[in-house]
Structures are given as C-alpha cells and as structure tokens.
Structure 1
Amino acid sequence: MSRRIHLNLFTHGRGHHEAGWRHPGATRKALTDINYFIDLAKRAEAGRFDSIFFADALELGDGARYVASGALEPITTLAALARETSRIGLIATASTTYTEPYNLARQFASLDHISGGRVGWNIVTSWVGGAGPNFGYERAPEHSERYARADEFVQVVKALWDSWADDAIIDDVESGRFLDRERVRRIDWKGQFYRVAGPLNLPRSPQGWPVLVQAGSSATGKAFAARHAEAVFTAHLTKESAVDFYAELKQAAVAAGRRAGDVVILPGLSAAIGSTDAQGQALLEELNGLTDIEVGLSRLSNRFGGHDFSTLALDQPLSRDDFPDPSTVQAAQSRAAAITELVGRERPTLRNLLRQLAGARGHFTLAGSPERVADTIEDWIESRAADGFNVMPPILPAQLDIFVDHVVPILQKRGLFRRDYDADTLRGHYGLTRPANPHFPA
C-alpha cells in the first residue's frame, strides 16, 4: 500500500472504557501525576505514533463518582511532555468559547517553540452545558453562535501568529539591533465578536502555526473543518458512515480552495485486544459488566443537551421516537445524530445501548486479536474511510502496551506504518506543509 497511515494516541483518564479504571491493567497513579502522562507519551513515541492528544472538559461531570476524573489541564501538561519527548506530536484541546484569542495564540506559539515544532491545537466550542456557569454565563451559547465565534476566533489567532515575519529577529550585538520592527505588524482586528490590536509578543513559531485540529462533525462543524482544520478527529459507529464523511469533508476542503491532502481524517478506534478474538471479546464483556447505569444515562443525557432518558425501560427495544431530533440539540449534534442512527438501525435496548457507548462514547469499538485490529485498520484505509486513527485504548496503560507491541509490528510488516520517524515536526508527521505568511512573502 502506498498510502501512509497515521496513528494518534488519545489519552483519557485510565482508559476510554468508562469502567477501564477498575481493571487490573489500569494505572494506579493519580490523574494529577505528570509521570503517568509522560510514561504514556514515551510509550507512544516508542511505537512511532504521530501524536498524543489530550481532550478537555470545563466542568466536573455528573458521573465523576463512578469514573476516574480530574486530570491535569492539557496546555500545561504539554509543556511538561515537550521536555520529556523528542519526536512525537503533542496536541491539546482549548475552547474558543471560554478564552481569548490573544492568550491562546501566545500559549500555543510558546508550546510550539518549547517543543521544537510538535504542537497542535484541538479547536472546540465547548458544548457541555455546565461549562457556562463556571465562566460567569448562565448557559452556554447556542450551537450556531458557538461556531460563529469560533470561526472569527481562529481567524484572529492565525493573524496573530502571522504578525511576525520569520526573519524579524536580527539579534545583532554589534549594531545593537535586536528586532526589525518593519517585519512585525499590528493586526488591528475589528470583527463581530473580537477587537484585537496585536501584534503577538513573541516570534512566529517553528511550524508557522501549530497544527489546527477539529472534532465537530455536524453540518456546521464540517463547514468549519473545511475552512480551517488540518486534522479532524471524528467519531463513527460504522465504516459506512466514515466513508461518507471522508468523501464529503475532502470535497468540502477542495471547494473551500484547499487540497484534499491538506486535511488528515482520523476516526476514533477503541479496541479491546486479546491474544485471540475470543479473549478480546471476553475482555470487552468483562468491562461492560463493570459499568454503572447512572454514568451511562448521564453521558447520554449530555450528548442530547440534558434530555432525561431515565424514564425509559432498560430492557425494551428503543426507537428513534425515544430521542430528540439531533438537529435541535444544542450540545454534540454530530454524536447525537450517530446515536440516533444506530438506534434506528439496530433497535437496541437502553441497557445495551449504554454498554455500546461505554467503550468509547460513540466512537468505533472493536474486540479481537491484534491481527483483527490490524485488518480493520487496513480495511478502513483501503475503503477511504480514514487517513489513520485516533487510537483510544479502553484500559491505560495495558491496552496501549498491547497495541504498540503487537498491532504496530503487524502494520509495519505490511508496509502500512513507519518503522522510524522521518520528520521532526507534527506537520512533518502528518505530511502537511508549513503555512506561508501572506503579510511577509518569502
């Protein structure tokens, strides 16, 4: 196969399965222990992963009594990981709804300098309803407003990153000139939501911009991704929906004046891996048996903007009528749509639906041997469903170790994955070009 696949480690507590923290293979280190995340990053780097990714939530969820919660803030975590790793990319989530463009542009440019060009920003609009009151808002802005603000926010951040020419620093001791002020410009942004003078107060970073990552898959989210995203983390419960999404987003990027290769699409994959298919399935069933109904109901409710599902019988088949119309949901519209489509297709009971979602919250789940996992990865790549995967181990670190030790070698033997790094930046790993600065042509 000539296509080059990408693997990204998505960290989440002690594992992506909501009961993973209870398994003997899960770490017993605190989620505030930076050494835990350093160990994960080093393990993923040894497996030649493109990057390690940290999601974020701006509230303490209702399920925290029964799920390992309270991990470190992502941006500061990346600063520590940058000093303990040398090649793997580092991606952190930060919200456009609850921060300011100047602060964020400065933080991520600093991280890109610290890491030598290995940083990415996962752009989110923070759909979780409980986040608003933590920042002085009675409620979160509606879906359309969040994306309108995000679009302008990203434009401002890009302008700030481009406010310095690459050669603005002179640093000439003899002449006494440190900075060529003519190679630094104000941006004087005056938009609908933001007023920002600029320039940024530090030089353009090694990658020009950190890699821009995005995860929304609603109609609005896909339009946003077509304009801005360079890597897309997307959730699909079936390969068929992933194929449709892949084609649609690539086409939308081209329509927006970009190349199809300017966007790397990475669906989530959470695999319970055993020595045999039967052992992998037994592990998944073991984890499902450790789940808590209250946690599942809370998470399902959050996906649908707070809708109450507790009145539904646990063991009666569900129908689409049991769910709000996803287009009216002001939370995670794309995930709500995927769940509703699954219900219409399979008619699961509520109990079984919660177990299906417990593994990876609406991402694709799989149970089986390393060969089955590798076969699935190859099949999705050949089917144009993905450029690679956001790997979501159900138990951390045990299932990451198995993936690195047993799945990665199979992919390497088949010529699907790198045996060593051939680039030093995250852009290089993803095959992305460094953005030109329109204000200071080379």
Structure 2
Amino acid sequence: MINYKEFVLDNGLQVLVHEDPSSEMAVVNLLYKVGSRNEKTGKTGLAHYFEHLMFSGSQNIPAFDSALERAGGSSNAFTNTDITNYYITLPAVNLETALWLESDRMLQLSLQDKHIHTQKQVVIEEFKQRYLNQPYGDAMHHLRSLAFEQHPYRWPTIGEKIADIEQFEKIDLVDFYQNHYTPDNAVLCIAGKVNFEDVRRRVDHWFGEIPRGAQAKEAPVSEPLQKKKKSKQVFGNVPTEALYKVYRIPGRLEEGFLSCDLITDVLSFGRSAVLEQKLVKNDAIFASCQAYVLGNIDPGLLVVTGKLEKGVAAEEGEIALEKVLEDFKKRAIPDQVLQKIKNQTEAMKTYESVSLLGRAMRLAYYAYLGNTSLINDEYDRKMEISGEQIQQAAMTYLDNDVSSVVYYKCQA
C-alpha cells in the first residue's frame, strides 16, 4: 500500500504527495502526458527530441544539470509511446531547487537555435547507433509499421525516420512545446521527507501562475480492425535469422489486458517457461525466445520474438511457435505454474515499492491513467485472474489469422 494525498492547482496541474519521513531525500517526478502517440506523420520523434531539449536550459537557468548538482541532486528522463517522464532526486532540504528548475522549463524553455541544432545532432546520432547500426536494431520500426496502419503507434518513440528529425523547424518545436508542456497536461509527484501542506504551498508558489495550454488536445486516429494476417521479410547483416510476431490486444485499462500480461508471464517467465522448454531447451530451432506486452494506453500489441539457431529460417521458427501456442490454448495451466507467476507478480510489486523514486514514478503513472487508486487495487485484480481466464484470453487474442509477423533474414 502506497499512501498519498493529492490536490489540483487552478491551472490544472495534478499534484500527488507521498510522505516518507524515513528518508532524508526527496523525489520530484514530473510526468507530461505526451509521447509518440501525440505526433503526426512527417513530424515523428518530437516527444523524444524534447526529452533531450528540456535539459538545454530555460529562461532563468542556462545550465539545468549544473544548477541541480549544486543542490546535491541528479536527474534523468525517459519517453515512450504515451508519456514523457522527468525525475529529480535530491536532499529533501533542497526541494525548492527542484521545483524552481521544473517550473522554469515548463513556463519558458530556452528554444535558442544553438540548443535546437545541438540536440538535433544528438538525437540523429542516437537513431543511427541504436536503430540503424545495431543488428536487428530496426526490427521494431518494421514491425510497428506492419501492425499499425493509421495509429501513431506505427513508429517507435525515436521517430519513423531520420529525415523527420532533420526537418524539424523552430515553429514545429514552439507549437509542440506550447501544446503539450503545460500544467494541465502534467502530473507532478513529490515524495520523500516532505510535508503535504508545505508542498502545497511551495508548488502553488512555483507553478500556480503558469497558464494552461491554449490548444485542445487531439486524440490519435483509431486503428481499424485487422482482418487478415500481415507479413514482411527484412534483410540485414545479422548472424542468424529472427522472428518478430505480434497480436493485437486491448489497451492498458481495458478488459483483457491483465490476462494478456499473464499470458506472456506463463509463456516466457523463467527457465521452466513454455517457450524456453519447448522451443529453446528441447529443440534445435530457437536460440532464445520471449513474449511480452507493450502496455500502451491505446490498444497495443503482445509480442513474441526469438533469434533462430544458425541455419534455421524464420518461417520455420514461426511454424514451430504456432504449434506451441495452439497447444498452449488447449491445455489447462497447471496450478503450480499459475502460483509461480503470481508469486513473481507479488515480488515485482514489492520490488517496485522499495525505492522512493519507484513509488513516485508509479503514483504519477497511475494518475496519468486516470485513477491513482489503481496503484493499490490493480494488483488484487491481477491476482484474482484464473488459469481459465488466461486460457480464454489466449484463444481470443493469439489468433494467427490476424497476426503480423516480420521475418528478419540474413543478408545474402
């Protein structure tokens, strides 16, 4: 159980406070409700680009990290399809510094040409190193564009292509910043050795006069129902072939999502898991194989991926995989297997609650989902799911006829 109190400023900023007097530290976690799902074709990668740009300085703070380090703090951030999350850890006595820093870049980020150019080059280099020059690095680009036809999930967070990043103009950046980096589009969570009333006063001082966003937020285009299987061959300089197969599943808050999450736990968690035992350990087809859900707020994907043994074709691997999945749908999940994955769920919940930062991040994320109390009751819902419900979800969603698959082939 994570205790918290919350309030909302007149400008729409939602604030959560988690008091932990056992710590001498404080965490300031600022989540913006913007990710790659809020981008448009031809302007992809903006949310991730802003993750970098937000550290370039603001009107009153030319060097964000230097100002924070003088207060004994550290910071970082991440972007995904749905959110951008900035977090600061520092001694609780220096909380004011973190609030000053975050409020200044929310109100008046420095969009000087030199910062725009520098961060553009950083992001382009990251694109090349992580996605173009790594074996299998572009696999998710191909997989997403195959699985989604209209929804912005069809490109990764880094962006659809380097040309989009190269062509960002200042007007694009100003518009994106003013539309998304506003108090009414953010969740602020402050945790640690803090007092609720004191936090309320300080937050109101630093954020209370920042105006709401002037533009209405547009919902992403809905993805049409997939009616047939889609596949694609990709060739690259890789040591062995690989298989990437996805199935459409409900969004993060929709009925069926938690069951799909448990499907991947049964299939993929531990050395005794189904995929490991039947495709890796006792067969000569896959060198590795795993399953996971992407966990998107909108309907997303359950992914099964694996590297094949040398000389084995990805298409051959898919045939073996489908046999295993069809058998999985027909056989009841043993009680001991179900208990094992639920024990893991419990262990993960405990682990995520150990660190102050982890608690702050989770509180902010569940507030973003629209129901902060889910942080304390979603675990109970997941633990109540039966083996029969998991099996039913597998029969519903692991449908080969409406899957999407990328065969990653060795370059001839």
Tell me which structure has the larger Cα radius of gyration: 2
TM-score (structure 2 length as normaliser): 0.26
More helix by share: 2
TM-score (structure 1 length as normaliser): 0.25
More strand by share: 2
